[in-house]
Amino acid sequence: MTWGGGGGTARLVPWCIAPLSAILPEALHRILGFPGLLPEPWKDTTVAPLLKGSKGSSQLGGYRPICISPRLRRALEGAAACRRVASMAQVLHARRYGFQAGRCGYGVLDTVLGCATLACRTDESRALGSTQCQSHQRGACLAAYLDPSDALYRVPHTRLIEVLRCRHVPRCIARFARYWLYGRGASTMVSGRRSAASVLAAGVPHGARLHCVT
């Protein structure tokens, strides 16, 4: 396994032989510190449809596409996601945006709506804008309808990176997210048969560890 970047290349012990603990520190340093160091084959994602428990096999929308990824890639993407969330916790007010107990429900909804409006600027964002909230005497917040996942799934990758910059996410995280998103391909596997890969220009695959980038 070879990792390229900087002025040369560095070889890591193949992950099929070495334990994960022997590879992860060096890999994290290279991936999170420099852009464009993920092996190109990792950009090709296999998506398998999973039947929802509450749906029938013949129902429309009865399947959920799930991203199937190598264990090491999921570990690296998970580490990048944790760093992204930690950076947001330092930028945003903890109590308002849900990083600590006592968060304000209105603040969370306001953040979701703000990100969706900035990123989408489409009919999906206007649908989110029509979300109604009702406040009870205890101060609890109820969302009459809030399903941002479908809207964010249509957000172009260029918009996602723009949102990260506007939210003052550290450059290393933004670079990794940009490289991770751009040029990704997905192929569907059903009953052992794989379709031709198609380029993902928007959204992120279901089940990906960096889904919180949106």
- Read off the pLDDT of residues 77-104 as tens digits, 9 standing for 90 and up: 666 666 666 666 665 554 444 444 444 4
Q: What tens digit of pLDDT does each residue of 157-186 get? A: 787 778 777 777 777 767 777 777 777 777
User: Other CB atoms closer than 10 Å to residue 82's CB: what's the count?
Assistant: 12
Output the pTM of the full model.
0.42
Backbone angles phi, psi at 64, to 5 degrees: -115, 120
Give the model's confidence band at 29: pLDDT under 50 very low, under 70 low, under 90 confident, else very high.
low
* Strands 44-51, 185-190: pairing kind: parallel
User: CA-based diameter of the chain, in Å?
Assistant: 63
Report domain extents, the chain: 43-213
Q: Pick 128 or 60 by higher pLDDT.
A: 60
